[in-house]
């Protein structure tokens, strides 16, 4: 379909050989459309993390195909997939993955600064995105000066600053209390409705999954069931109230070229947005010294 952002067909992922062979995914078919919010649930070992790694372009499937924005990830080499990921995929982590030495604004600007944007442009766009998630007044604060919910909002702003085709959220409320978790879920729901952002979220929380348009259940590497989620905010939190932070991002992010060809990196925030962890840490040190 024309509005399909991601199409995965026959995804299989196998680790090891012989008696150590593990089939993490066994023929997954999944399509995500523009403006669709999909929650992925399943017990530990069901294949959720493997699926997230493949959709993020951080690993290759043993079999099957993944098309993101019409681009076949299978024909891309490691560097090309890294560039596509950094331009078109935003990622939220359970543990926030913010750099302690940087302010909220600098953390959000990090993907842009490493990409070669001018400091003024990166700062302007980061400040605007922080305003969109309700943190304009906290942009000069460092992570230890922010609550858990505020840190996750900074992480969301960092994921969105590149204007991604696809937002992947890995247990985004896992380290938050119920109140802050509900606020983050309200923000994600508004993000989908107001910006038509495509979002896939892995979660163990059935209440949070109910806010999705669709729930995909995994077991033993297969999709075993699915159901329509509750598009509106559950009644226990009320309708759009004081806790519902408006999210209306109206600007279009510029297309930026990455100045460094990225080597393979581990699955964390620094690796995801930076060519390598060393470059990001050097940038953080320079920013701290300049401050």
Has residue 266 been placed in a domain? yes
Has residue 153 been placed in a domain? yes
Has residue 27 been placed in a domain? no
Cα(183)–Cα(187) distance, rounded to whole angstroms? 6
- Tell which phi-psi region holds residue 163, choosing left (phi > 0), alpha (psi between -120 and 50) or beta: left
Domain that includes residue 123, residue range: 35-59+77-290
Q: Which pLDDT band, with edges at 50, 70 and 90, does 226 fall under? A: low
Has residue 13 been placed in a domain? no
Length of the chain in residues, anyone? 291
Cα(70)–Cα(78) distance, rounded to whole angstroms? 18
Kindly report, residue by residue over 118-155, the tens digit of the pLDDT: 889 999 999 999 999 999 999 999 999 999 999 999 99
Number of domains in the chain: 1
Has residue 167 been placed in a domain? yes
CB 48 within 8 A of CB 202: yes
Has residue 108 been placed in a domain? yes
User: What is this structure's pTM?
Assistant: 0.76
pLDDT of residue 274: 43
Residue 11 has pLDDT above 80, yes or no: yes
Residue 27 has pLDDT above 90, yes or no: yes
Q: At what angle do helices 119-132 and 148-160 cross, to 10 degrees?
A: 120
**% of residues, the chain, pLDDT over 90:** 57
Structure tokens at 60: 């290759």
Q: Which pLDDT band, with edges at 50, 70 and 90, does 291 fall under? A: low
- Tell which phi-psi region holds residue 221, choosing left (phi > 0), alpha (psi between -120 and 50) or beta: left
Has residue 72 been placed in a domain? no
Kindly report, residue by residue over 227-260, the tens digit of the pLDDT: 544 333 333 333 333 333 233 222 222 222 323 3
> Residue 89 sits in a domain of what CATH number?
3.40.50.300
Has residue 8 been placed in a domain? no
């Amino acid at each position: 379909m024309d509005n399909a952002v991601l199409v995965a067909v026959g995804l299989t992922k196998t680790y090891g050989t012989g008696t150590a062979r593990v089939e993490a995914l066994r023929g997954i078919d999944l399509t995500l459309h523009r403006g669709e919010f999909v929650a992925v649930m399943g017990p530990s070992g069901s294949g959720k993390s493997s699926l997230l790694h493949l959709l993020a372009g951080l690993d290759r499937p043993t079999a099957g195909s993944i098309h993101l924005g019409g681009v076949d990830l299978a024909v891309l080499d490691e560097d090309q997939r890294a560039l596509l990921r950094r331009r078109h995929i935003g990622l939220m982590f359970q543990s926030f993955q913010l750099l302690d030495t940087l302010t909220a604004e600098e953390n959000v600007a990090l993907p842009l600064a490493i990409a070669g944007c001018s400091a003024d442009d990166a700062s302007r766009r980061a400040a605007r995105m922080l305003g969109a998630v309700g943190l304009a007044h906290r942009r000069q604060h460092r992570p230890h000066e922010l609550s858990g919910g505020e840190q996750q909002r900074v992480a969301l702003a960092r994921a969105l600053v590149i204007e991604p085709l696809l937002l992947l959220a890995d247990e985004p409320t896992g380290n938050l209390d119920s109140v802050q978790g509900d606020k983050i879920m309200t923000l994600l729901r508004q993000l989908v409705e107001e910006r038509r952002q495509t979002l896939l979220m892995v979660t163990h929380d059935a209440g949070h999954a109910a806010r999705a348009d669709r729930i995909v259940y995994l077991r033993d590497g297969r999709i075993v069931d699915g159901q329509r989620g509750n598009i509106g905010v559950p009644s226990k939190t009320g309708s759009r109230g004081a806790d519902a932070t408006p999210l209306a991002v109206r600007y279009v992010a510029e297309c930026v070229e990455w100045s460094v060809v990225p080597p393979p990196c581990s699955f964390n925030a620094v690796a995801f947005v930076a060519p390598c962890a060393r470059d990001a840490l050097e940038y953080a040190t320079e920013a701290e010294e300049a401050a």
